[in-house]
Amino acid sequence: MSPSWRRYLRSQDLIWLLLLSTLVVTALLMVHYETSPRPGPFVPALLVALWIVKVSEPYIGTILAIVIELGLCFGIIWDSGQIQSSFYLLPLLPVISAATNFGLRGTVLSTLAACAVNLSQLVFLRWEQAYIPPDQYPELVLKLLWFPLVGYLTYQLAKANREETRKLEATAKQLAEANQSLKEAQAEARRSERLAALGQLTAGLAHELRNPLGTMKSSAELLRRQVAGENEIAKEMAGYIATEVDRTNSLITRFLDFARPQHLRLEKGNIEELLDRVIARFEREKSGAAASVSIYKNYSPDIPPVVFDGELLERALLNLVTNAAQASAPGSVVTVKTRMVETSAGPSATEGVEIAVIDRGSGIDPKHLESIFNPFFTTKSEGVGLGLAIVSKIVDEHGGQIVVESAPGEGSVFRVYLPAVRE
């Protein structure tokens, strides 16, 4: 069969064609040999129509196909001896279709309809000329019992297949999730290896650079003091050298802060007092466009003590507040909010403290959300991309978590979760 035909005619359609063709040939032979009851002239055509409907079932819908099949089965039985028809089992076709597609309710309804197709033939009997002997009633009941029996067995088989399919789909989903988690873990491991190598390189390079930088700064200071007073250009150049050396030294310090392992000095303390120190320090040091930004405190009264390294966590939170202020319009407000949250669900739920830094600034482009905590990623023209990476590292080493929610033009929310300590 050519590929173009396979789109319209399936392999099971050929099997149906073979089976119903056999019924057509049988009906023609019964007509030829004048069997009793003898099929009428319309039976072959109705059998062909039944095959066409069966083949068209995926296209016209199962419900419509079942209704048409019941009507065709009624016509075939009526034209082939009515209650005595040899085709009395044909209504099993719509019963099987319903049991396969519609579950128990569809099976029951189609079974009742199939029984009605056969029993309705009694209406067309000429009772003045024919009657059903009492010994034939069990035979009639036996014919009808085939429909619920086959329908129920088909329903059970289809139900088992559906449950098995659901299990396989659930297993496939779990495997896909596990595979994705494995890929993420592998990527994280590779990233950690690269960061470890980068950290070692940075630490060694930083130590090697600091000595010549110190010499350069000392030379620049000496040059500025020794040059003649009227040589303003030399003094200005010496000032530039000293300033750039200080900036390079600061950059090296930030590299080292990220690269070397942190030795936490954990103490149990009040997170609100830490936030007050952060805000007070921000107010002292703010400059530029952030100078007019104010901080609004929204502390929850039920915050328990938290175990943290005051110096490191203060640095991380100050970075978040400063970033929020820099992203905000002049004169706007940055909110620092705390509340209690559950860090996990179910019987193993644990409490945590959420520290949220909220701004109504320019927001973060969605394509950058996955990268903002990566080292050396920045969208600022004068940044090196280590600020948020250091913040994330400090929070991780406290056993916490940091997440961000942002929309361009609406602002950002950085949420820091830390485990709480209950007395």
Q: Give the residue with greater pLDDT, 129 vs 250.
A: 250
pLDDT in tens, 299-329: 998 888 888 988 889 988 999 999 899 888 8
Residues in the chain: 423
Distances (CA, A) of 166 to 171, 173, 220, 277: 8, 10, 75, 56
Contact 306, 271 (CB under 8 A): yes
**What letters, b where the CB count within 10 A reaches 16 and e where it falls short, cover 146-158?**
bbbebbbebbeeb
State the average pLDDT over residues 379-386: 65
Q: How far apart are CA 135 and CA 415, in angstroms?
A: 84
Q: Find the range with the poorest average confidence among 125-129, 151-155, 265-269.
A: 125-129
Q: How far apart are CA 321 and CA 407, in angstroms?
A: 18
Distances (CA, A) of 293 to 84, 162, 358: 94, 61, 13
Residue 415: CB partners within 8 Å, gap ≥ 6? 354, 355, 356, 402, 403, 404, 405
Phi-psi group of 376: left, alpha or beta (phi > 0 → left; psi -120 to 50 → alpha; rest → beta): left
Sheet strands side by side (includes 351-359): 294-298, 333-342, 351-359, 411-419, 401-407
Torsion of CA 363, 403, 355, 311, to 10 degrees: -100
**DSSP-H helix ranges across 227-298:** 232-259, 271-285
- What crossing angle do the helices spanning 232-259 and 137-226 adopt, rounded to 10°? 150
Looking at residue 259, its pLDDT comes to 62
pLDDT in tens, 167-212: 999 999 999 988 988 888 887 777 667 666 766 776 677 667 777 8
Looking at residue 250, its pLDDT comes to 72
State the average pLDDT over residues 140-151: 84
Contact 238, 282 (CB under 8 A): no
CATH code of the region 267-419: 3.30.565.10
State the average pLDDT over residues 371-389: 71
Looking at residue 19, its pLDDT comes to 79
Amino acid at residue number 9: L
Q: Where are the domain boundaries for CATH 3.30.565.10 in the chain?
A: 267-419
Looking at residue 228, its pLDDT comes to 59
3-state DSSP assignment of residue 74:
helix
Give me the CATH topology for the region 187-259: Helix Hairpins (1.10.287)
Q: pLDDT band for 345, please (50, 70, 90 cuts).
A: very low
Q: How far apart are CA 213 and CA 201, in angstroms?
A: 18
pLDDT beyond 80 at 346: no
Q: Where are the domain boundaries for CATH 1.10.287 in the chain?
A: 187-259
231: its two tokens: 């040589």
The chain-wide mean pLDDT, for the chain, equals: 80
Residue 236: CB partners within 8 Å, gap ≥ 6? none
Q: What is the DSSP string of 210-241?
A: HHHHHHHHHHHHHHHHHS-TT-HHHHHHHHHH
- What crossing angle do the helices spanning 387-397 and 310-327 adopt, rounded to 10°? 140
Q: Phi and psi (nearest 5°) for 41?
A: -70, -20
Q: Which of 152, 171, 151, 175 is nearest to 163 (CA)?
A: 171
Contact 319, 285 (CB under 8 A): no
Q: Which of 411, 241, 263, 403 is nearest to 329 (CA)?
A: 411
Looking at residue 348, its pLDDT comes to 46
DSSP label at residue 67: H
Residue 356: CB partners within 8 Å, gap ≥ 6? 335, 336, 337, 338, 339, 413, 414, 415, 416
Contact 392, 415 (CB under 8 A): no
pLDDT beyond 80 at 104: yes
